[in-house]
Amino acid sequence: MHKQVYKMILAEAERLAEAFSDPGRARNPNGESFELVKVEVRSETVACGLYRKNTGKYALASFKWVNAGKRDDIGVGDRSFIHSCFVSYSDLRGWQLMLDDLAKVEKANGRHN
């Protein structure tokens, strides 16, 4: 992962912690606050963030770099952004099922290369 992208992800991870730590936030009846524990790179475009809540619980977030705009000399677009979300088992199961779908698409596309 490019250093510039990692810095974007760290900034988004901190922003997410701040946004979800708002005690007045909708669907935050326990007034939870989130502290970023760590961010770990999973691929060239994806990282995950571990958060500790003030309740003692933990949460996991996903960060996906979307490369957009005019590319610089290392290939990072000037309109790139980070898509972030807290991850659920339902999300992971859906993404896991997409692995088979992607393999089928790649196989079909191979005939056109």
pLDDT at 113: 81
How many beta carbons lie within 10 A of that of residue 66, not counting itself?
Answer: 11
pLDDT digits (tens, 9 = 90+) for 29-65: 889 999 999 999 999 999 999 999 999 999 999 999 9
As a whole number, the mean pLDDT across the chain is: 94
CA–CA gap between residue 47 and residue 41 (Å, rounded): 4
pLDDT digits (tens, 9 = 90+) for 13-35: 999 999 999 988 898 888 999 99
Using a pLDDT cut of 70, give the percent of the chain over it: 100
DSSP-derived secondary structure letter, 33: -
Task: From 51, 40, 62, 41, select the one nearest 17 (Cα to Cα).
Answer: 51
DSSP code string of 77-97: BTT-EEEEEE--HHHHHHHHH
Q: Which amino acid is at 39?
A: V
CA–CA gap between residue 60 and residue 81 (Å, rounded): 19
- Biggest CA–CA distance in the chain, Å, is 54
